[in-house]
Structure 1
Amino acid sequence: MGVVKRAAAVVVPLALVVGGVWYGVSRHGSSDDKTLGQCTTKVGRLTVVLTDEQARNASLISAIAIRRGMPAHAATIGLATALQESKLYNLRGGDRDSLGLFQQRHSQGWGTPQQILDPVYATNAFYDALTKVPNWTTLPVTEAAQEVQRSGYPSAYAVYEGDARALASALTGYSPAAFWCHLPKPGAAAPPAIRRAAGLRDSLAPAFGAVEVRVGSGSRLELPTSSTARGWAVASYLVAHAAQLGISSVVYRDRGWSAESNRGWQHASDSASADSVVIG
């Protein structure tokens, strides 16, 4: 196994594969399309680059932890486990009857194959098991993951702990503006704002529970948030799912993200209200 690259301030044109997950330094200011479909997390000196599919699953794992009222440590454990077990892909096979994000087994009582292949079900099943582990909130990530998974390679989770911490910090909102994706701009015309708002509520419900979505001036959609951390968590989730939700831009507080840009969150001239995430 290699070591995850911890990027310095100087951009180095180097990519690294660790355990099958592609990591690299984000190409800020690049004029080519090599970063299209990539999602970047940058916390401190650590940069983690995922595909958009991996990022969608990572944001779901983090959001469900928030919905359940669990600390960021739970999201870190869940992410480290999924990185090791499936590289954050919803696999339709694995060792023996293992399936899904966490490679859960029908024969071991994790649910039906159809349930295990549902990322929402699988993530909740993982957290259900985690909460039954004594003192899980104070256990090291790799020990807590092993208590749930009973893997034949218990030390493997440690390989991904640093990446999982960075992802959890960004996707639960504790590291503001630390997660972004570079995606093609949605090509289809947006549906009417009221219908779009209803679709967005339905899409967010499995991850965050009931979410209020308002139609604001200019038919923009506004999502009130109860705290700054939750606001950034919701904003990051929307960015991760932007291609599926037809989202071209997200603004929160004084930062804005645009799907077509590979520069991450930039200072927004038209700032959103302090307590709402605004979608374009």
Structure 2
Amino acid sequence: MFPGSEDFVLAESSRPPRARRWLAVLATLVVVAALGGAGWIWGRDQLTALATPRCQATATGESVTFSPEQVHHAATITAIAMKRGLPARAATIALATAIQESKLRNITYGDRDSLGLFQQRPSQGWGTQDELLDPVFATNAFYDALVKVDGYENMEITKIAQEVQKSAYPEAYADHELEGRLLASAISGHSPGGLGCRLDDPEGRTDTKALQEALQTEVGVAGSAEGDTLVVTADSELVAWRVGAWAVAQAKAHALTSVSVGTHTWTRTRDASGWEWSSAGDGSGDATRVVLTLTP
């Protein structure tokens, strides 16, 4: 026995069981780390298994991540702007506002009588409680107010926030302008394949009628049911990617398992490949055809 090692043995034997268990775990991790590549793969897989579902929007080489719930609402906000024929800047403004006001969550509470994605107040004439908790109604109400602001397309977001939201802290909206711009670009179709989601397996089956109604209401396009798929023929490749991104953002809510735009496909999965679109063939397929795969 090395000199002084008996002190270590005595100290170790006097440790409580929990402490000894943690030392055993630490020793195991050291061994795993020493295994090099195998240890790295094991650790990566464990992190993937523990990670919560997330969505990622990428444009101009930058990315932001949000929860599926947040991106679900971001897709509604962006799609409605496009359906109304508004510029992408309008969607950026609306998204930055919703991130600041509610973190892109449709909440039932807020300052005084504020509600919903934009924390609009019934007492200020935005609508009834039930209306403001409807994301489609609340989003349209926001855009109705935004388009009345002359020159909003080129105005600083802090000034727009003051005009539309009557905010006491308009400078806070500027903190979320980049996030809003990346989401708007990825969801509007201007950054093809820019939106992906890592999701758990679907819960329940797809309500095809509800999905068709949401697609028509928010995006303004019709989808025809063909077996276990919903097929959309878009007017252009840009609109096709818009539909595809919207569908990925709605995949959790509507139990979708894959989305294809032309020869590019997003496949529902929990690992990091859920953030990406794969391509097949020579790229000569119909770029305006979008196929949503349902859970029967």
Q: Sort the TM-score into its range (normalised by shorter chain).
A: 0.7 to 0.9
Which of 213, 224, 238 matches 1:214?
A: 224
Q: Which amino acid aligns with 2:143?
A: Y
Structure 1 regions of 5+ residues with no counterpart? 1-28
User: How far apart are 1:175 and its partner, in Å?
Assistant: 0.7
User: How far apart are 1:40 and its partner, in Å?
Assistant: 0.7
CA 1:203–1:30 in 2, change beyond 3 Å: closer, same or farther? farther
User: How far apart are 1:36 and its partner, in Å?
Assistant: 4.1
Matched, 1:262 2:275: no
The answer (yes or no) to whether the contact 1:64–1:123 under 8 Å persists in 2 is yes
Matched, 1:277 2:286: no
Q: Which amino acid aligns with 1:136?
A: Y
CA 1:190–1:120 in 2, change beyond 3 Å: closer, same or farther? closer
What's the counterpart of residue 103 of structure 2?
A: 87
* TM-score (norm: length of structure 1): 0.81
> How far apart are the structure 2 equivalents of 1:155 and 1:123?
22
Instruction: Please show how residues 43-58 of structure 1 align to structure 2 within 5 Å.
Output: 43-58=59-74
What's the counterpart of residue 154 of structure 1?
A: 170
> How far apart are the structure 2 equivalents of 1:63 and 1:236?
10
Matched, 1:200 2:216: no
Instruction: Please show how residues 100-115 of structure 1 align to structure 2 within 5 Å.
Output: 100-115=116-131
- Which is worse superposed, 265-274 or 109-118? 265-274
- Which is worse superposed, 101-110 or 264-273? 264-273
Q: Following TM superposition, where does structure 1 have runs of at least 4 consecutive aligned residues deviating by more than 3 angstroms?
A: 187-191
What's the counterpart of residue 49 of structure 2?
A: 33
User: How far apart are 1:99 and its partner, in Å?
Assistant: 0.8
What's the counterpart of residue 17 of structure 1?
A: none
User: How far apart are 1:250 and its partner, in Å?
Assistant: 0.5
> How far apart are the structure 2 equivalents of 1:166 and 1:74?
13
User: How far apart are 1:179 and its partner, in Å?
Assistant: 0.7
> How far apart are the structure 2 equivalents of 1:162 and 1:189?
36
Cα RMSD between the aligned structures? 2.0
The answer (yes or no) to whether the contact 1:186–1:248 under 8 Å persists in 2 is yes
Could you say which structure has the larger radius of gyration?
A: 2
> How far apart are the structure 2 equivalents of 1:105 and 1:189?
36
Aligned length: 245
Q: Which amino acid aligns with 1:202?
A: E
Q: Which amino acid aligns with 2:154?
A: T
* TM-score (norm: length of structure 2): 0.77
User: How far apart are 1:148 and its partner, in Å?
Assistant: 0.4
What's the counterpart of residue 177 of structure 1?
A: 193
Q: Which amino acid aligns with 1:256?
A: T
- Which is worse superposed, 140-149 or 79-88? 140-149
Q: Identity of counterpart residues, as a percentage?
A: 42
Instruction: Please show how residues 53-132 of structure 1 align to structure 2 within 5 Å.
Output: 53-132=69-148
Matched, 1:236 2:245: yes
CA 1:46–1:150 in 2, change beyond 3 Å: closer, same or farther? same
> How far apart are the structure 2 equivalents of 1:104 and 1:258?
36
User: How far apart are 1:279 and its partner, in Å?
Assistant: 1.5
The answer (yes or no) to whether the contact 1:78–1:145 under 8 Å persists in 2 is no
> How far apart are the structure 1 equivalents of 2:203 and 2:102?
31
Q: Can you list the C-alpha shifts for 1:16-42, whole angstroms capped at 9, x where unaligned?
A: xxxxxxxxxxxxx95323444211112
Matched, 1:134 2:144: no
> How far apart are the structure 1 equivalents of 2:157 and 2:290?
31
Structure 2 regions of 5+ residues with no counterpart? 1-42
User: How far apart are 1:202 and its partner, in Å?
Assistant: 1.1
> How far apart are the structure 2 equivalents of 1:266 and 1:76?
24
